[in-house]
Amino acid sequence: MVIGTSDYKPEVKVVERQNGRVLNVTIEYWPFKMIFARKGNKKVSLISFRRYDESRDEPDWVPPMYFNPAIKVARGIFSSEHG
């Protein structure tokens, strides 16, 4: 199985809210777990990530093939609270 293909999709695990406002979103997209938060009024940023595949060294970045689909999902969650 090839990682990063349509076999896996970004999956929302946690949406943390305070007073009805989204604070951060945790998304798993194997082999990464990424946490996104709002920075400023419109911008959504990756604030933390972890790689589950222990056979490799911990990366210091998330490859675009994982990051781009995940941040799209996160942006959708943050923007949906404004209707």
pLDDT tens digits along 9-23: 899 999 999 988 899
Q: Would you say residue 2 lies in a domain? A: no
Which are the contacts of 56, defined by CB distance < 8 A and separation ≥ 6?
A: none
pLDDT at 83: 45
pTM of the model: 0.81
Residue 82 pLDDT greater than 60, yes or no: no
Alpha carbons 28 and 14: distance in angstroms, whole number: 10
Whether 55 is covered by a domain: the verdict is yes
CB 46 within 8 A of CB 27: no
Count: domains in the chain: 1
On the question of pLDDT at 44 being above 80, the answer is yes
In the predicted model, is pLDDT for residue 53 greater than 60? yes
Q: Is the peptide bond before 31 cis (omega within 30 degrees of 0)?
A: yes
Residue 33 lies in a domain: yes
**Are the CB atoms for 18 and 77 separated by under 8 Å?**
no
Domain of residue 49, residue span: 11-80
For residue 1, what pLDDT band results from cuts at 50, 70 and 90? very low
